[in-house]
Amino acid sequence: MQTPAPLRLILLGFGNVARAFIPLLASRSNWLTREYGVLPIISGIGTRRQGYFVHTSGIDAISLARFSDPLQYFSSTLQPVEDAFAFIERGKNVGASILIELTSLHPQDGQPALNHVRSALQSGLDVITANKGPTAYAQDELQALSRQTHTQFRFESTVMDGLPLVNLAQYTLPAVDIYSFRALLNSTTNLVLSLIEQGHNLTEAIEMAQQLGIAEADPSYDLNGWDATLKTTILANTLLGGHITPQQITCEGIRDLPPETIRTAAQAGTPIRLLSYAVRKDGHVTAQVTPRPLPSNDILQRGTGTTGVISLDTEAMGTISLIEHAPTLLQTAYGIFSDLVTIVRHRNTETQNGI
C-alpha cells in the first residue's frame, strides 16, 4: 500500500464541538486512508484565551486523540503565534490545507469568524465551519471568494448538526426545486419548551440545556430566536436560492411566552414550538421565525426534547421530511467530518480530471 498523503488541518476554536471532533476523526482515520489515501494530521489548535499554536510537523489524529486534552498538549509544548490571522498564515506555511472554524457565534454580525473564514479562503485554504455567523451573513460573498481562489467552503453542520441538508440538495436531490420549508431548527428552544410543558421553570430548563452542551455560550441567542434566524437564513439561501440576510427575517423568540400558555397548548395537543418557515414565491424568498402551536397531525410535532425536524415542499419529490432524533455533539462532529470527506472527494475528482 502507498504511503498516505498527509491531510493537514488547523482548528480554530477548541470547545465542545472540536473536542468531540478529534476522537471521531481518529476513529475514521484508517477509513480515510483506506478509502482516499489520506492521513488526517492536526497542524494547529487556536483559541482566544489559551492562544494559537501551530505544530511544524503536526500530530496525526489517532495519536492526538490519546491525549486527554489535545489543546493542553499543544500549549505546553509550543510557543503561541500572535492571533487568529497569524495562526492561519502559519498553518498554511506548515502545509495545512483546511481550516476548521469552530469559534463562538456572534449573532449580530458573524464576526470575527467571518474574517477568519475570509482570510483562510484568501490564503488558499479550504474551510469547514459549524459557526452559523459567516454563512448567514456572507454566503454569497464567501462562495464567490472560494470560486475565485479555487477553494472549498463547506458548512453542513451549521444548521442541523450532522443531518445532510446542504449535501442533500447539492448531491442527492439535484434540481428537485424546493419551494418552501417548515422546520424546528433550534434544539435549545425545543428542549426548553418541552421541559416547561413538564413543569420546569425557564431557568431550570436553560440550565439543563447548558449541561447537555447544546445551548449557545449565551443562551439568549437561542431564546430570542437569533440562532434559528441564522439557520433559517442559511437554509433559505441554500435550499430556496434566496439572497436574504438575517435582518430580513421576521423573528420572535420564546422568552416572553407565559409558562401557562405553553402548558395549556401542550395539553390541548397543539404544543408551541419555535417554527422556521421560508418560501419562494415569484422568485422572491421570504422567511420567518416565530413561536407557533403545531396542529395535531403535524410531522413537526416529532420535535420534542432536542429532536429537530424539517419538511421540504418540493416540485419533483412532493413533501420530504427529515428528523434528527436527539442529536448530541457527536452529530455535529459528524457534520464536520462529512464536509471533510466531501472536500477530499472533490480534490480526488479534480486530480483524476487533471485539474
Residues 6+ apart with CB under 8 A from 184: 190, 273, 274, 275, 276, 300, 303, 307, 308, 309, 310
* Order of strands across the sheet that contains 5-12: 51-60, 38-47, 5-12, 98-101, 126-129, 153-154
List the one residue from 14, 74, 137, 153 that touches ligand NAP (CB under 6 A). 14
Distance, in Å, from the CA atom of 67 to the CA atom of 78, rounded to the nearest integer, reads 15
Q: Does 131 bind ligand NAP (CB under 6 A)?
A: yes
Site string for ligand NAP, 100-129 (x = CB under 6 A): --xxxx------x-----------------
Distance, in Å, from the CA atom of 125 to the CA atom of 99, rounded to the nearest integer, reads 6
Q: Does 23 bind ligand NAP (CB under 6 A)?
A: no
| 350 C-beta neighbours (distance < 10 Å), count | 11
Stretch that binds ligand NAP, among 12-20, 173-181, 314-322, 343-351 (CB under 6 A): 12-20
List the one residue from 54, 61, 84, 168 that touches ligand NAP (CB under 6 A). 84
Stretch that binds ligand NAP, among 7-15, 135-143, 176-184, 250-258 (CB under 6 A): 7-15
List the one residue from 6, 23, 95, 213 that touches ligand NAP (CB under 6 A). 213
Beta 153-154 vs 126-129: how paired, if at all?
parallel
Number of residues that bind ligand NAP (CB under 6 A): 29
List the one residue from 50, 63, 264, 311 that touches ligand NAP (CB under 6 A). 50
Q: Which residue is nearest to ligand NAP (CB)?
A: 15
For residue 295, the 8-state DSSP code is: P
Q: Does 15 bind ligand NAP (CB under 6 A)?
A: yes
* Shortest distance in whole angstroms from residue 226 CB to ligand NAP: 11
Distance, in Å, from the CA atom of 80 to the CA atom of 74, rounded to the nearest integer, reads 9
Distance, in Å, from the CA atom of 244 to the CA atom of 39, rounded to the nearest integer, reads 39
Site string for ligand NAP, 159-178 (x = CB under 6 A): --x-----------------
Scan for cell 428537485, then name that residue. 176
Which residues lie near ligand NAP (CB under 6 A)? 12-18, 46-50, 84, 102-105, 112, 130-132, 157, 161, 213-214, 216-217, 329, 332
